[in-house]
Structure 1
Amino acid sequence: MRVPLEATIGEEGIFDALIAARETFGDKEILEDQDRKPLTYTGLIRAAFVLGRKIAAMTALEERVGILLPSSMGVVVTFYGLHAHGRVPVMINFTAGERNIKAALAAAGVKKVLTARRFIQQAKLEELIADIETAAEIVWLDDVRATIGLQDKLYGLAAGMMPRRFRVKTDPSGPGVVLFTSGSFGAPKGVVLSQSNLVANCRQVAQHINLKPEWVMFNPLPTFHCFGLTGGVLLPLLQGMKAFQYPSPLHAKQIVELIPQVKASILFATDTFLNQYARVAGPDDFDSLQFVVAGAERVRDETHHLFNTRFHGLKLLEGYGATEAAPVVAVNHPDRNRPGSVGQILPGMEWRLDEVPGIAEGGRLYLRGPNVMEGYLSPEDPRKIEPLENGWHDTGDIVAIDDEGYIEILGRVKRFAKIGGEMVSLTAVEGLASAVWPDARHAVVSIPDSRKGEKLVLVTDRKDADVASMTEWAREHGAPELAVPKKILRVDDVPVLGTGKTDYVAIQQMAELDKAA
């Protein structure tokens, strides 16, 4: 099924879209971070040309260049600097660990990684950098900036006035960024999004929700995560909104203090982080916010409850996306917010549901549209892309979609267990645990069982969690007994990835190690 567009979304290049935004919205302040030295559109364009030319002198046209930086003005300038000179940014997840990072560099064919000493020192990543140096050359942007002289500044002035004459003309259908999937359920995959994929997704969101140029977007998410890159950087810049970048989503107290100071209008984050922010915020701290958008993981009932009771009138909009779709697929609307759903599919997208044997409700979601990637990086050859069959991306998610286009996520194909011949959604079991202990964090995995095929294991930070309480709740509310885990692992913290998503790979290992013990 196709969701119609109000107007055709054509192919646009990343840098040309930024230039067009300046022409549309005027030369206003558009980018800021915790250093509180904002840049205008022209300031950003000039800085991108100057830094980009320096990087271009040490790289080749169309070369893939690694970026290892936190959310900041620096990462945005570097990203656009590469595009101004026809290079391709590869966003490196610095929380992924040495093995995954080296695999990502090899998969993308990265020879140089751009980073900054201040960040590496503050984040205590010196050991990681030493490991990465065995796979790629580290380029310190501090040193690059120190070489900027008068001639470079004059070049930047001229380029800022006539950016289309100075920028390298690239094909909008060519690579816009290389990102890696989160690795929540296995090894991260390399995703090549075209320039037009990224721009199209921004246009789709803007058609779905009316975004006002006077608003400020507060982005605490890392730009190695597509939600942080598209939602937190590209979308606001292309729609005339100031994009405020904060380097770590973990700093709940500092973020809550900054939101009213910068007069933030929209906050993007995951459920994990929003729950933390809501707990430390006072009743007035979120007064400037028009709405909050949650994505990348299911929003718990407790998080909805926190926002509904502490911040009256502030809407928490749940959305759904995939790195492969640049990433926004669906999102609730401020005037059409349906809790329990992840909103309506964005305009311009096609979708289909394929039947899954053993699962009665919903189907496996496939997507196609202007925001959907061409394909994954080939594991054998960094220059090759494994194309999607007829342009359809298999999300691996089991969903139900109603007549109005609202999506309900029922679980991932990998997140179902077969117990005694019945298919049981692990996501639904997590929901059961959250209903019994709403103030705790839970994750459910399955392990082999000689008697029933598979056995459910609940990993929780609730210290007094017990099977009897879950069994009683299930009996009282008509939930099947199969959905009650017979094994509970109590932990201090349920593992999460740097993006805030639950780390099911680590949790699976915990459950299997416990079984072996």
Structure 2
Amino acid sequence: MLGAGRRSPQKVAVHYAGGDVTYGELDSLSARLSHALVEHHAINRGDRVVVQTAKAPEVLALNVACARVGAIFVPLNTAYTDRETVDLLDDVSPALLVRAQALDHTVPRVSLEELVHSSLPLPSLFEDVASDAATPAAMLFTSGTTGRPKAAVITQGNLHFGCTTLNEVWAITSDDVVVHVLPLFHVHGLFVAAYCALSSGATMHLLEGFNCDEVLEVLGTSTLMMGVPTHYTRLLDDERFAATVTSSMRLFISGSAPMLASTHEEFFTRTGQRILERYGMTETGMIASNPLRGERRIGTVGPALPGVNVRISADPPGVVEVRGPNVFSEYWNRPELRSSEFTADGYFITGDIGVIDDDGYLEIVGRRKDLIITGGLNVYPKELELVIDAFPGVLESAVVGVPDADFGEAVSAVVVALPGETLDVEELRVRARATMASFKVPKHFFVVTALPRNTMGKVQKADLRREMILL
């Protein structure tokens, strides 16, 4: 990122609500923040710096500053409650918390605004601490939808491999203008969208979040957008979204959650462009991607990225396993997980059930933890969801298992109707019986207005299970 800035210091790196920031300004700010971390807050190599603050260009500069001083950047979701934040702080024992709001914790705290202000009189040059591919660069907490969240340690090598590989396969260059609508506290928003843009010398429209009006305003001067399926469905819900708005765009990328085939098709009909779907996770960064040039197959996430090895475990139900320079080094303070999360020959066990076709395209069938065992028989939720989603009047569905005295787990379907449609539970059940084996037919159907999702658009099936158990 600093290399790109030093080649073109006057070029705008970030357009945002507060104005423009050039690469040279980003470089200088990262140097001043590096001095502030060391001189004002005694940050040393290997110290954890937790950042829980609103999306802003200064967050990017602080991320670079942490790397320059050898500290480990730990971004936290701003939606976490104080209790959740305290638990995570206890886990990583940071030397500094960058957050505006007070918190009942002993860690030293400073707001991002105060940190930036204190750096103003400091030098705009900094001698970087030496690092190599194995140097820890960041920690990201896994979603923790079940059990205790884990902090994945991401190395400099992981990040370098990720952005250089993606810039190559997606042909991202300094000519690109990226629409950035994602948070800066996870892989997709920070280590993919932002890192690819900055490391290639591109320009970003750094939007606070996803807002249709704002996105439509900048699409006409942009070339690339990375988002989650929810972002694209919201664009399609807006009658202003059409090919005339996307004429300058060369690539739309989607990830973090599977996209419905109907969304793919409607997007193509409206814009003439195919969304590129890819696959990754916190512990691995990006794993696979549909091709920039070549067939983008709906329902798949494409072949493995160059340099990444992907295989399907021999034991049922066939779990995706990954090895390569993209894979994280460890879970922080959780050495006992090494044997359960990695195979004997070094492959990371993703927990996703998948299949690879003869052309190497990977299809994610579901999560191993979502597998339903009913009466001793395996039911794969995604298989049923694809069938139910095709029923008349259905927008989308989620299938989960809930405790059942007779069968162990009962297959249950939560269904959302298309706008203006009304769904009849008994009619859904009749259609299911006509299209599924009897043991797969949901015992319960629930019609809801929307499925619960996290910030990345992933359906929160644990929440659905809890709600249905209470019914």
Q: How does 1:289-438 map to 2 (within 5 A)?
A: 289-311=249-271, 313-325=272-284, 327-336=285-294, 337-357=296-316, 359=317, 363-379=318-334, 388=342, 390-436=345-391
C-alpha RMSD of matched pairs (Å) = 2.5
Could you say which residue in structure 2 is the equivalent of 1:79? 63
- Is 2:278 aligned against 1:278? no
Pair 190,148 (structure 1): closer, same or farther in 2 beyond 3 Å: closer
User: Which letter maps to 1:46?
Assistant: S
Pair 186,434 (structure 1): closer, same or farther in 2 beyond 3 Å: farther
Tell me, in whole angstroms, the C-alpha distance in 2 between the residues paired with 1:447 and 1:63. Answer: 43
Please say if residues 184 and 502 of structure 1, whose CA atoms lie closer than 8 Å, have aligned partners that are also in contact: no
Q: CA deviation at 1:491?
A: 3.1
User: Which letter maps to 1:110?
Assistant: P
Q: How does 1:50-449 map to 2 (within 5 A)?
A: 50-57=32-39, 58-61=41-44, 62-116=46-100, 129-130=101-102, 132-134=103-105, 136-149=107-120, 151-152=121-122, 155-156=123-124, 159=125, 166-249=127-210, 251-260=211-220, 263-280=221-238, 281-283=240-242, 284-311=244-271, 313-325=272-284, 327-336=285-294, 337-357=296-316, 359=317, 363-379=318-334, 388=342, 390-436=345-391, 440-449=395-404
Please say if residues 201 and 371 of structure 1, whose CA atoms lie closer than 8 Å, have aligned partners that are also in contact: yes
Q: CA deviation at 1:425?
A: 0.7
Please say if residues 179 and 218 of structure 2, whose CA atoms lie closer than 8 Å, have aligned partners that are also in contact: no
Partner SS for 2:105: coil
Tell me, in whole angstroms, the C-alpha distance in 2 between the residues paired with 1:309 and 1:469. Answer: 30
Could you say which residue in structure 2 is the equivalent of 1:4? none
Could you say which residue in structure 2 is the equivalent of 1:482? 439
Q: CA deviation at 1:135?
A: 5.5
Q: CA deviation at 1:397?
A: 0.9
- Given candidates 12, 24, 49, the residue that maps to 1:42 is 24
Please say if residues 67 and 92 of structure 1, whose CA atoms lie closer than 8 Å, have aligned partners that are also in contact: yes
Tell me, in whole angstroms, the C-alpha distance in 1 between the residues paired with 2:212 and 2:57. Answer: 20
Partner SS for 1:48: helix
Q: CA deviation at 1:26?
A: 3.3
Q: CA deviation at 1:380?
A: 8.8
Please say if residues 471 and 481 of structure 1, whose CA atoms lie closer than 8 Å, have aligned partners that are also in contact: no
Pair 286,332 (structure 1): closer, same or farther in 2 beyond 3 Å: same
Tell me, in whole angstroms, the C-alpha distance in 2 between the residues paired with 1:47 and 1:427. Answer: 47
Pair 282,209 (structure 1): closer, same or farther in 2 beyond 3 Å: closer
Tell me, in whole angstroms, the C-alpha distance in 2 between the residues paired with 1:309 and 1:104. Answer: 45
- Given candidates 461, 464, 471, the residue that maps to 1:504 is 461
Q: CA deviation at 1:438?
A: 6.4
Partner SS for 1:55: helix
Q: Which has the higher contact order (CA 8 A, sep 6+)?
A: 1
Name whichever of 34-43 and 76-85 sits farther off: 34-43
Could you say which residue in structure 2 is the equivalent of 1:122? none
Tell me, in whole angstroms, the C-alpha distance in 2 between the residues paired with 1:246 and 1:427. Answer: 33
Partner SS for 1:191: strand
Pair 393,380 (structure 1): closer, same or farther in 2 beyond 3 Å: closer
Tell me, in whole angstroms, the C-alpha distance in 1 between the residues paired with 2:172 and 2:409. Answer: 47
Q: CA deviation at 1:405?
A: 1.8
- Cα deviation, 1:144-181, whole Å, max 9, x if unaligned, reads 333345x42xx21xx2xxx6xx2222233111110011
Q: CA deviation at 1:187?
A: 3.9
Partner SS for 1:345: coil
Please say if residues 416 and 426 of structure 1, whose CA atoms lie closer than 8 Å, have aligned partners that are also in contact: yes
Q: TM-score w.r.t. structure 1 length?
A: 0.83
Q: CA deviation at 1:323?
A: 0.7
Q: CA deviation at 1:224?
A: 1.1
Please say if residues 291 and 316 of structure 1, whose CA atoms lie closer than 8 Å, have aligned partners that are also in contact: yes
Please say if residues 70 and 248 of structure 1, whose CA atoms lie closer than 8 Å, have aligned partners that are also in contact: no
Please say if residues 394 and 416 of structure 2, whose CA atoms lie closer than 8 Å, have aligned partners that are also in contact: no
- Is 2:9 aligned against 1:27? yes
Pair 441,257 (structure 1): closer, same or farther in 2 beyond 3 Å: farther
Please say if residues 110 and 136 of structure 1, whose CA atoms lie closer than 8 Å, have aligned partners that are also in contact: yes
Q: CA deviation at 1:192?
A: 0.4
Name whichever of 385-394 and 479-488 sits farther off: 385-394
Matched length: 461
Q: CA deviation at 1:184?
A: 4.3
Tell me, in whole angstroms, the C-alpha distance in 1 between the residues paired with 2:399 and 2:83. Answer: 26
Please say if residues 14 and 20 of structure 2, whose CA atoms lie closer than 8 Å, have aligned partners that are also in contact: yes
Q: Which runs of 5+ in 1 are unaligned?
A: 1-17, 117-128
Please say if residues 403 and 469 of structure 2, whose CA atoms lie closer than 8 Å, have aligned partners that are also in contact: no
Q: CA deviation at 1:387?
A: 8.7
Q: Which runs of 5+ in 2 are unaligned?
A: none
User: Which letter maps to 2:3?
Assistant: A
